[in-house]
Chain A
Amino acid sequence: MRTLRQPAQVVPTITFPLFLLAINAGGLDAATDIPGFPTDSYLTFALAVPFIQSGIFAVSNGGADLARDIETGFLDRLALTPMSGVALVTGQLAGVVALGLLNAVVYLGVGLAAGATLEAGLAGALVLLVLSLVIVFAFGCVGVYAAFRFGNGEAVQGLFPLLFVFLFLSSMALPRDLIEQDWFRTIATYNPVSYLIEGVRSLFIVGFDGQALALAFGCGTAIGAVFLALAVGRLRTRLVRT
């Protein structure tokens, strides 16, 4: 509820990715003429990116709210309840996940209305929504861990540009096999964000690509599991009853 009641958290997560999508779709449409480019529509190709940006916003949205709870001492009050650490962490992410679902529906609707195609059809749309929730949950866990680790909102917000670095140094703008610079292609290959993007993108361009979807779900699940475990461990430190 807290997340959805803050327009400053909701509006930018919808408008900013769509604006960048519009600019990139018009600015890079010529890239579809490069031999080997997988689609004729750069809009369809780039539509995967807002779903990842939604995840990046989840880091600051989820983490900042929790950091505020830590700073105000509300988390200490929660320590008096019998609530388990996992339940507390996942509860914090409920708002972020709900916002992620709203964002995913909006991005999909706007993208299709603007002329993008979804080769995977209705079933693919459902898979897309599930994958986007996995991505948002994973990044939300990163934000929660950062909140527990640093204990203040400014530090959590400081992760935002770092995550944008991960986004830009990926297969965000071109397919990995068309990236000309070897060093950039290597970075993109080791960057888990590339697999998240490619999984979402495969639903729009190819249909059901088992390998791409497996890698995307795998990376998202792994990121979420690792940072959820780290967050719960960190929470135990913060909630030591004295």
Chain B
Amino acid sequence: MDIHMVSIIGAVIAVCFGAIGPAFSEGRAIAAAMEAIARQPESAGTISRTLFVGLAMIETMAIYCLVVALLLLYANPFAA
């Protein structure tokens, strides 16, 4: 198994497991925001804006995994 094989497997694992955590937490955040909007529809604007900012923060974790995967696939420092 050469370094390219290992890089591909590493990229796959990074995206696979890196997506699980953000997916769960984004689901929880959206569920909480839905509940809040259902209770107080008049504050939907503020809630959804805060939700978007929060989702962007959570999503950052998944994006870091994407960066690692991209680096492994296209700019791997060990595969010269």
A binds B: no
A residues contacting B by CB (< 8 A) are none
Chain B residues engaging chain A, CB cutoff 8 angstroms: none
